[in-house]
Structure 1
Amino acid sequence: MFAQIKRLGADSLLYAFMNVGTKLIAFIMLPIYTSFLPDPAQYGVLDYLDRVTSMLTFVVIFGTDSALAFYYFDTEDKKKRLDYVRSVMTFRMLIVLIIAIVFLVGGEWLAQLLLKDAALYYLFYIAIGVLALDTVIALILTVLRYDFFTKKVVTFTILKMLLIALFSYGFLAYVSPTIDGILYGRLISVAIVALLLIKPLIKFIKFTFNKKLLKEILVYAAPLVPASLAFWVIVNANSFLLERFTSFHEVGIYGAAVKFASLITLLTSGVQMAWRPFSMSLKDRNDSPVLFAKLYYGILLLGTIGVLAVATLMPWIIQMLNTNYHEAYQYVAVLSAVTFLNFFYMIISVGIFFSKQTKIISYAFGIAAVVNVILNVALIPSFSIWGSVAAYLISYLIAITYIFFKSQKLYHVPVSFGKMTFLFMFSLVAVMAIVYIQESSISDWNIVFAWIGYVVVVLLSRIDKDLLRKKSAAN
């Protein structure tokens, strides 16, 4: 067991380094973007376009990432593994081609519908080019990750972000201080990385595929597609409905807050990258439930601490932005909690993926997506961005609760749902107390009491005692 934890730890540290690097680059670029795009409405259009692209990414992937993870580790035959990868690559590129044709034919109409300006149709063309190259890069890096070539994955991922930062700044500063400059910077950057990965690219691209293997992949993946679309609705409906009920200004403020909320992924994303191959490699071990229990509790504890840290530091961090964006800081802490839940559902759903009951994920996030839309429509007109934040949080709480209980039925992990829920909900109370203190005339030193309360709750929960009792029983 120790050797397995050591591997997860080593890979997680490297992936954490990678994600710290990429997130820091993104954070550095955000104030640069807002300085060249001082009107939040301009940044709102960019954020809106990015959300459309993220939806298209879900369509391209079509759940094949989870399917490939399962079948890649389900066989030791290297040729069969290669056939799986080639089939996935061909499928994804075919979807990209279909999307490109749609935007070539209806670009102006879609630009008018989505961006309120038909003249911006060319932005879609650049975005599709980035999508195509990113599709290739993502699959190559996925396979390298499955083969535990962690250092290569880290190197190329950081390189891509650095290039995007450099070229985007170059275009903004010297060519076009507009959204165009950012998009052209992205396009050139991913093209360079794709060229550097030309050797595995040639190996994986084969415009024929094994029909039997592709069918296996799609049968596994298809139930995840509604979940992917539901994810997109949950994550992005907020921005679309904010634009509908308010304006691109609010979209820009909300988008900036979401970017800062991703600070929490500095703690979680390394584990997320390493989790799937790690957990799948342990599915047949007798002692795995006890190990997973330790990880459930430990990761939840680290995540909630991270959320409180983000809440505490955000008023100072947000000052790096143009003053027109400063109001975004008050939303960041709660959005960070939701960002953590978006990661944590993958941790507590091992039973679902072990048993291939992936349709459960679709049900959970399908329900959450409907709830999210209803709450956004009900709350945004009265509470604006806060209404959207509340809808986002509630929908994720519903999804993760459903997923946990379903996963436990399929593969029981000895943890207490009550203790985990109590710990997370009190962390939210502490976060809201911190935000209230920051927004009022109360001295910021009172934030210490929110932290003390959180520590007391952690000590009272005694999750360590529960874990030791379960381990003794297992032995």
Structure 2
Amino acid sequence: MFKHIKRLGADSLLYAFMNVGTKLIAFIMLPIYTRLLSGTAEYGMLDYIDRVTSMLMFLVIFGTDSALAYYYFEAKDKKLKEYYVRTVMMFRLVILAVIALVFFVGGDWLSELVLRESGYTNLLLISIGTLFFDTILTLILTVLRYEFFTKRVVFFTVLKMLLIAAVSYVMLITIWPSMTGIFVARILSVGFVALLLFKYVIKYARPYFNKEMLIEILKYSAPLVPASLSFWVIINANTILLKNLGSASDAGIYAAAIKFGTLITLLTTGVQMAWRPFSMSLKDKENNGAIFSKIYMAILLVGTLGIMIVATIMPWVIKVLDKDFWEAYQYVALFSAATFLNFYYMIISLGIFFTKKTKYISYAFGIAAVINVILNLVLIPEFSIWGAVTAYLVSYIVAIIYIFNRSQKLFYVPVSGMKMIIQFSWAIASVIGIVYIQESSTISDFNIIYVWLFYLIGLFVVGIHKDLLSKVA
């Protein structure tokens, strides 16, 4: 028993290191890209192509990651496990081949249709080439993770990110001081890592076809696609619509802001990984509801406090980027708020997971995705980036309220949903106040202290101190 617990702890620590490492590498490259590329428009196009590629990756995977996780562990025979992996690999590569053919035949016409600008066909094709190597690598690393080769997974994942960062930098300052250098660096780096894993490539990328097995996998994976699609829409629709309804420059500033906003995951990832086993261990304990209620409020308090800190310091932090991107600071705190909600829903959805009613997660984010698109279409033409930010945050608020209400009906936690809404809304109002002062040339930044007092007073008004300090019976 202790051996299994020790493995879980060690593996969790390594994966947490991997997550923090890859995000830090990406963050370090952000100011480099913004300074070496030619302005916000080019960086906006880079981010836009990346989002198109992420959509293609979604189509290639098509929910087969969850299906493979189930059938791989169900299969007791090693050969059968290999057949499942090769079936998934074949399915993904066939889908990718079709996509590549469409873009190759469509050429500049399809490039202009997708990107709203011509001259980027070669970059799209290079991206699809990178996607080819990434598709193979992703599945191989998944299998290594299933076999508990944690160190190998962490090593090759971090190596890939390091290579992409280093080669991109070299390309930008020598051969290609443009997006082309970044895309070429990516395909070279990912291809090199695939070469290092050549023995696994040979083992799992060999063609294999079993009609019954493929149907079995697709029957499992297809129902999961709507939920994954909803997440993709919420995350990416804002940038795509901002690029088409606004400008590439706006999309570039938006992309920089959201990358800063998602850095809050460096703090939430550890809690996220530990929460599910921790909560399950308390599932049948006496008076667990009182314990969960305190955790709900404590995490919400820490989260809103973090968002306030982000809003206060961002005008200085953003200066690591090129000055053309400095205006992005005003959006970062609200992106952090949305990112926090994307994490927080997993905390307050205990009833859904305890009772295995995970369909409500799909319902919640399906509704949120529709609201997100509608708000973007309505708000972006009038308010540009602020419209996209509003749509992003509101969609997550709707999703989390729906999830909390459903979860409470399935497993009641003695905590006031209204009090939680008031506390979060109070923090958002405070953030808006801070940004307003920072943007105003006639109001001294010293007045931010009063906004902080407003936020702190609000905590006592809603009585959060009583929730946290009361004893568990």
Please indicate, yes or no, whether the TM-score normalized by the shorter chain is above 0.5.
yes
Residue of structure 1 in register with 2:360 after alignment: 360
* Most deviating of 374-383 and 180-189: 374-383
Identity of aligned residues (%): 60
* Most deviating of 219-228 and 282-291: 282-291
Residue of structure 1 in register with 2:172 after alignment: 172
Residue of structure 2 in register with 1:254 after alignment: 254
* Most deviating of 125-134 and 422-431: 422-431
1:115 positional shift: 2.6
1:433 positional shift: 2.8
Which ranges in structure 2 are unaligned for 5 or more consecutive residues? none
Alignment of 1:272-311 (within 5 A): 272=272, 278=277, 282=280, 286-287=284-285, 299-311=299-311
What is the one-letter code of the residue matched to 2:343?
F
For 2:141 and 2:365, how far apart are their aligned partners in 1? Answer: 27
Does the 8 Å CA contact 1:17/1:270 hold for their aligned counterparts? Answer: no
What is the one-letter code of the residue matched to 2:259?
K
Alignment of 1:187-206 (within 5 A): 187-206=187-206
Q: TM-score, normalised by structure 2?
A: 0.85
Q: 1:67 to 1:314 in 2, by over 3 A?
A: farther
Alignment of 1:35-434 (within 5 A): 35-70=35-70, 81-208=81-208, 214-272=214-272, 278=277, 282=280, 286-287=284-285, 299-349=299-349, 352=352, 357-409=357-409, 416-434=416-434
For 2:296 and 2:210, how far apart are their aligned partners in 1? Answer: 38
* Most deviating of 403-412 and 188-197: 403-412
Partner-residue secondary structure (3-state), 1:258: helix
Partner deviation per Cα, 1:181-240 (whole Å, 9 max, x = no partner): 011111111112222233444444353256555445433332221222222222222222
Does the 8 Å CA contact 1:267/1:302 hold for their aligned counterparts? Answer: no
1:123 positional shift: 1.0
Residue of structure 2 in register with 1:19 after alignment: 19
* Most deviating of 402-411 and 193-202: 402-411
Partner-residue secondary structure (3-state), 2:38: coil
Q: 1:301 to 1:365 in 2, by over 3 A?
A: same
Partner deviation per Cα, 1:405-428 (whole Å, 9 max, x = no partner): 344555666665445434433332
For 1:400 and 1:311, how far apart are their aligned partners in 2? Answer: 22
For 1:128 and 1:261, how far apart are their aligned partners in 2? Answer: 28
* Most deviating of 259-268 and 202-211: 202-211
Does the 8 Å CA contact 2:38/2:178 hold for their aligned counterparts? Answer: no
Q: TM-score, normalised by structure 1?
A: 0.85
For 2:268 and 2:39, how far apart are their aligned partners in 1? Answer: 32
For 1:408 and 1:141, how far apart are their aligned partners in 2? Answer: 37
Partner deviation per Cα, 1:72-122 (whole Å, 9 max, x = no partner): 566777666555444433332222222112212213212111333332211
For 2:204 and 2:275, how far apart are their aligned partners in 1? Answer: 24
Q: Bigger radius of gyration, 1 or 2?
A: 2
What is the one-letter code of the residue matched to 1:343?
F
What is the one-letter code of the residue matched to 2:391?
A
Number of aligned residues: 467
What is the one-letter code of the residue matched to 1:224?
L
Partner-residue secondary structure (3-state), 1:208: coil
CA RMSD in angstroms comes to 3.6
For 2:330 and 2:199, how far apart are their aligned partners in 1? Answer: 47
Q: 1:27 to 1:430 in 2, by over 3 A?
A: same
Does the 8 Å CA contact 2:372/2:394 hold for their aligned counterparts? Answer: yes
Partner-residue secondary structure (3-state), 1:118: coil
Q: 1:438 to 1:118 in 2, by over 3 A?
A: closer
For 1:283 and 1:247, how far apart are their aligned partners in 2? Answer: 50
Does the 8 Å CA contact 1:15/1:269 hold for their aligned counterparts? Answer: no
1:337 positional shift: 1.3
For 1:248 and 1:267, how far apart are their aligned partners in 2? Answer: 31
What is the one-letter code of the residue matched to 1:103?
F
What is the one-letter code of the residue matched to 1:331?
Y
For 1:421 and 1:7, how far apart are their aligned partners in 2? Answer: 39
Partner-residue secondary structure (3-state), 1:324: helix
Q: 1:191 to 1:296 in 2, by over 3 A?
A: farther
Partner deviation per Cα, 1:308-354 (whole Å, 9 max, x = no partner): 33222211111111111111110111011112223333454466567
Partner-residue secondary structure (3-state), 1:126: helix
Q: 1:91 to 1:320 in 2, by over 3 A?
A: same
* Most deviating of 72-81 and 88-97: 72-81
* Most deviating of 227-236 and 439-448: 439-448
What is the one-letter code of the residue matched to 2:126?
I
* Most deviating of 344-353 and 49-58: 344-353
1:403 positional shift: 2.9
Q: 1:408 to 1:37 in 2, by over 3 A?
A: same
For 2:247 and 2:351, how far apart are their aligned partners in 1? Answer: 42
What is the one-letter code of the residue matched to 1:244?
N
Residue of structure 2 in register with 1:436 after alignment: 436
What is the one-letter code of the residue matched to 2:387?
G
Q: 1:314 to 1:293 in 2, by over 3 A?
A: same
* Most deviating of 241-250 and 68-77: 68-77
What is the one-letter code of the residue matched to 1:58?
F
1:11 positional shift: 4.8
